[in-house]
Structure 1
Amino acid sequence: MANSGPQVGILVGSDSDREVMDKCTARLEELGVEYEIETRSVHESPESVAEYAGTAKDRGLKVLICASGMAAHLAGAVAGRTTLPVIGVPIAAGALGGFDSLLSTVQMPPGVPVATVAVDGSTNAAVLAARILALSDDELSHTLEERK
Structure 2
Amino acid sequence: MHPLVGIIMGSISDWEYMKGAHEVLKDFGVPHEVKVVSAHRTPERMYEYARNARKRGIEVIIAGAGGAAHLPGMTASMTTLPVIGVPIPTKHLGGVDSLYSIVQMPAGIPVATVAIGNARNAALLAVRILSIKYSEYARKLEDYEKALKEKVDRMNEELRKEVENGI
Structure 1-normalised TM-score?
A: 0.96
Displacement of 1:23 in angstroms is: 1.2
Q: CA RMSD in A?
A: 0.7
Q: 1:110 aligns with which of 107, 110, 121?
A: 107
Which structure has the highest helix share of the two?
A: 2
Aligned counterpart in structure 1 of residue 78 of structure 2, from 76, 81, 86: 81
- Structure 1 unaligned segments of length 5 or more: list them: none
Kindly provide the CA deviation profile for residues 1-59 of structure 1, in whole angstroms up to 9, marking residues without a partner as x.
Answer: xxx21100011000000111111111111101111010011011111101100000000
Between the aligned partners of 2:134 and 2:16, the Cα distance in structure 1 is 29
Larger Rg: 2
Q: Distance in 1 between matches of 2:29 and 2:116?
A: 25
SS at match of 1:77: helix
Report deviation, 1:94: 2.3
Q: Distance in 1 between matches of 2:6 and 2:20?
A: 15
Which residue, out of 31, 45, 54, partners 2:28? 31
Q: Counterparts in 2 of 1:118-129, with a 5 A limit?
A: 118-129=115-126
**CA–CA distance in structure 1, aligned partners of residues 9 and 81 of structure 2:** 17
Structure 2: which amino acid aligns with 1:101? Answer: S
Task: Determine which structure has greater relative contact order: mean sequence separation of CA pairs < 8 Å that are 6+ residues apart, divided by chain length.
Answer: 1
- Sequence identity (%): 50
What stretches of structure 1 move > 6 A for 4+ residues in a row? none
Cα drift, residue 100 of structure 1 = 0.5
| Counterpart code for 1:142 | R
User: Which ranges in structure 2 are unaligned for 5 or more consecutive residues?
Assistant: 146-167
TM superposition shift of 1:72: 2.1
How far, CA to CA, are the matches of 1:139 and 1:122 in structure 2? 22
**Which residue type is aligned with residue 81 of structure 1?**
M
Number of residue pairs aligned between Structure 1 and Structure 2: 145
Cα deviations by residue, 1:103-134 (Å, 9 ceiling, x for unpaired): 11111111100000000011100000000000
Distance in 2 (CA, whole Å) between partners of 1:80 and 1:129 is 18
Q: What is residue 17 of structure 2 aligned with on the other side? A: 20
Secondary structure (helix, strand or coil) at the match of 1:51 reads helix
Q: Return the match for 1:140 from 137, 146, 158.
A: 137
Query: For residues 92 and 63 of structure 2, what CA distance do their matches in structure 1 show?
Result: 21
Structure-1 separation of matches of 2:143 and 2:91: 39
Work out which of the residue numbers 91, 94, 105 in structure 1 matches 2:91: 94
